[in-house]
Structure 1
């Protein structure tokens, strides 16, 4: 009788454990780096490799010294990227689906197909008291970062986009785009307005320590320099600084980080440009994953708005031991793009789905 009770106790205990935890994924006989407990994340880091398709991701395998950080993810899905207006999306519509969960027309920034503003994830979470941040190697007015805090009918309206920054609620901006604050047709000095709203404005170099204030870090007039032009570790270091700052908020945070110039290398059909930018992005993934591993309450998501360049890793003729990066277009392509996820809630990102689902999955995990 005692033996039966003991067995029942063991089975009951196991059942409780099974309902509170999902199976821990095992690879090479080691437990996954980040907790797989069934719970919602407190924080989400969304990293967007602009123009990054599967061939771009594969570049990290062949051109990086050491194991790519992409290989640290255990959950991988695929996103269908068409916009409401076109089979092939642009970056504005492609990012607006991540920020609002609405499919819209190419060129739209934070508005639906009728040009009506739609609340962004940054605005929704800021209202709840969460911290938010935007980091990019483009200007912060470029299509992807702009879609997270602005609402305009055209991505080319850079001055209009900038006017949303002072009241955006974003706690940490880092990238380029200084001229749209200071060299404006309307003569306004939006840097002064940012300061009046409580921002610390930094325009010389990435600071070593965080500020108690919200931060606007603008280190280029427009887009940041290429890696080949000496940008250095801006993207991983700015991401690290953002995480240090945003993680002080006890309610949690949302951070969007864009490797903007992977796309630009694709448009230029410049393989060297693309590869250097992709490897910089992979290094930045390491920063996010290391933070998440230590923090335990952070979900890391990596995806793209679309693929650019029709990029492939072809062979040199019949030499299958030599890779020749090649392109089929100077524009975008309609191929699906990968979605990587690691951390609490990662399993939600398995499968094949429309790009808008990334927004809805994130908001559901944040408790909406």
Structure 2
């Protein structure tokens, strides 16, 4: 009798686990109507052409799309391309991937992965500009400033968020906005465009205090983004907006306009530059499984990338690097055979995943990123490119 009771209890427990699993699966697998996602094929092709192989870039633009994986990229390629125009994604000479894991294991957060990209050092969750033991590590902006580069950050997120902070601060507490802002204000950063968030909450100072901290270093631009002239034209500048003001192409300001202004400023300076452009829209949207926000965010990313490519091709001396710090949401574009070739978006989680993420490069020095496998290798290569007097192939450099 006891054995039968034991078997019955096990059977009931098994059924409960199965039901919970089914409930969980259906609640995190979210779709939007296929009619909202129009398939748009692109037949145009661009041949590979390493015309700048072996050359050192004068300028470097790093575009990090927070939370963007190959599912997001596939969605962009399948739904937002002109049939007769080469996709911005096809314009990169180097198309690869990297494993964004942290020193902790296969998963990561923005702080750890952005720090690896910014410093060339793998680290743990929540470590900003620090190695896994909590020691400060020089980032590429600090190295570049020492070598007389101008440096700048453009983000559609708040300026002390994990990704931009990894390029400008060294701290264990990612919520200590006041300390991060103070470190930014005492850095050698020349340009800072982004938002404030949660002002007055916890360790986040009120808006006026935040702006006063930043004014110690930067001339503050108004909403017109008009650059200072005369004797102020080479002074550090900042444009700071309220929470969630910078979103997609319909918002004012938007990532495209901020990046356009940043490139105008950098072009007027006498020095080479390293510029970080970050879009946080994929991460924010994917944490909420917000499919429509993903689509709008992809349009903003592609428009801004096209602007960067136009600049780099005209300039001829600029390396463009595109990647993500991790993937969020486990997004997939799946078939809807009733409305083929349109499709649906499905999600597997609202958290970060261990998926590998895109790594794309174009321009002088792009060939150095053709064999990257881990996020920290990106930072190592960037440091070597910035510090070398003449470009050598990756195989000629000592690691």
Shorter-chain TM-score bucket reads: 0.7 to 0.9
Deviation digits for residues 282-325 of structure 1, max 9, x if unmatched? Answer: 11111111111011110000000011100010112676522111
Q: What TM-score, normalized by structure 1, do the two folds share?
A: 0.84
Call closer, same or farther: CA 1:196–1:162 in 2, change over 3 Å: closer
Q: Identify which range, 258-267 or 65-74, moves more after superposition.
A: 65-74
SS in 1 for 2:151: strand
Report 1:1-368 matches (<5 A): 32=49, 35-66=51-82, 67=85, 68-177=87-196, 189-197=209-217, 199-202=218-221, 204-209=222-227, 212=233, 213-220=235-242, 222-227=243-248, 230-232=250-252, 234-316=254-336, 320-368=340-388
In the TM superposition, residue 209 of structure 1 has moved relative to its aligned partner by 3.6
SS in 1 for 2:102: coil
Task: Please give the root-mean-square deviation of Cα atoms over the aligned residues, in Å.
Answer: 2.5
In the TM superposition, residue 348 of structure 1 has moved relative to its aligned partner by 1.1
| Contact 1:178-1:218 within 8 A present in 2 as well | no
Deviation digits for residues 49-91 of structure 1, max 9, x if unmatched? Answer: 1111111112222332524311211211210111011311111
Bigger-Rg structure (1/2):
2
| Contact 1:182-1:190 within 8 A present in 2 as well | no
CA distance in 2, matches of 1:162, 1:181: 14
- Paired residue total: 337
CA distance in 2, matches of 1:231, 1:28: 32
CA distance in 1, matches of 2:148, 2:142: 10
CA distance in 1, matches of 2:60, 2:120: 16
SS in 2 for 1:300: strand
User: Which structure: greater strand fraction?
Assistant: 1
Structure 2 unaligned blocks of 5 or more = 1-43, 389-399
In the TM superposition, residue 31 of structure 1 has moved relative to its aligned partner by 8.1
Q: What TM-score, normalized by structure 2, do the two folds share?
A: 0.78
CA distance in 2, matches of 1:207, 1:336: 37
Structure 1 unaligned blocks of 5 or more = 1-26
CA distance in 2, matches of 1:154, 1:223: 23
CA distance in 1, matches of 2:375, 2:71: 19
CA distance in 2, matches of 1:288, 1:134: 14
| Contact 2:286-2:294 within 8 A present in 1 as well | yes
Call closer, same or farther: CA 1:160–1:223 in 2, change over 3 Å: farther
In the TM superposition, residue 38 of structure 1 has moved relative to its aligned partner by 2.2
SS in 1 for 2:123: coil
